[in-house]
Structure 1
Amino acid sequence: MFRTLVVDLLLTLAYGGVGLALMALGYLLVDVVTPGKLHQLIWVERNRNATILLASNLVAVGIIVVAAIAAGENSFVTGLVGTTAYGLLGLAVMAVSFVLLDAVTPGRLGDILVDREPHPAVWVSAVVHLATGAIVAAAIS
């Protein structure tokens, strides 16, 4: 029983590491598509638009990772590789959705999404992130 607990804890730690790495990559992607630095915008300037955008991205990545873990094979290596692959695919799909939304937005979407004044476009972008994460998660199972 103790051995099973230790193995399960190590597996959880490994999946947690993959999830954190994917969320860090999601953070970097949002930082790239928005002007300025996210840490400055969110933690210093308290920019609500940037916060909503980043939070929706992180939740979407989390949804994908949870679905990939739940659908994972009984093999630890296969499950971990699958979780990583689905997470990366989800980030790629979210990036494409951002580019497509930017194409139909007047002006530059990144500029709008970090404006100091609340802007309704951030909610549209956030929902696109969440919906994309949910779609990828549903496709996994």
Structure 2
Amino acid sequence: MLESMLFAAIYCLVGIALLTMGFVVIDLLTPGRLGQRIYAERSMSAAVVVAAEFLGLGAIAFTTIWTNGAGGFGAALGWTVAFGVLGIALQALSFVVLDAITPGSLRAMAVERELHPGAVTAAAAMVAVSAIVCASIA
């Protein structure tokens, strides 16, 4: 039981690291400081985009652990990191592509104070990309 609790704690720490990496990437893609936009300026758009990113990355980590856990802790942890980093990269790519093919600046829309439809679209793209990554885990 203690070993399982240790594994759970390590998986959680890796998950937190992945969420942090994802947050930093989105922060680099959007104007201003994302934390400031969410917590001080109360940007609903930024909160929705980050929430979708976190849910997507959590789903990727869950699916990877669930699918590979029987293969041993080390292997499952390695696959979790690999697919998590892949998810972050693909979420960022989807954000950049969507920004390029839509009118206006999705980067700016994603951090507007009021909830912007562009932010909801970006959030949906992140969840969709994450679902595709989850489906590819075997």
TM-score, normalised with respect to structure 2: 0.95
Out of 26, 29, 41, the residue aligned to residue 25 of structure 2 is 29
1:103 alignment partner in structure 2: 100
Paired residue secondary structure (2:71): coil
Q: Give the count of matched residue pairs.
A: 137
Given the alignment of the two structures, is residue 39 of structure 1 paired with residue 35 of structure 2, yes or no?
yes
Equivalent-residue separation in structure 2 for 1:100 and 1:38 (angstroms): 20
Shift of 1:23: 0.4
Given the alignment of the two structures, is residue 69 of structure 1 paired with residue 96 of structure 2, yes or no?
no
- Superposition pairs for residues 1-141 of structure 1, below 5 Å? 5-72=1-68, 73-141=70-138
Q: Which runs of 4+ in 1 moved over 6 A?
A: none
CA contact (8 A) 2:45 2:110 kept: yes
Paired residue secondary structure (2:31): coil
Gaps of at least 5 residues in structure 1 are: none
Query: Which shifted more, 11-20 or 70-79?
Result: 70-79
Equivalent-residue separation in structure 2 for 1:67 and 1:14 (angstroms): 16
Equivalent-residue separation in structure 2 for 1:124 and 1:100 (angstroms): 12
Shift of 1:47: 0.6
CA contact (8 A) 2:34 2:111 kept: no
CA contact (8 A) 2:49 2:123 kept: yes
CA RMSD after TM alignment: 1.0
Once the two structures are aligned, what percentage of the paired residues are identical? Answer: 38
| Deviations 1:26-81 (CA, angstroms, capped at 9, x unpaired) | 11111111111111111111110010011100100000000000011421111100
Kindly name which structure, 1 or 2, has the bigger radius of gyration based on alpha carbons. 1
Gaps of at least 5 residues in structure 2 are: none
Paired residue secondary structure (1:46): coil
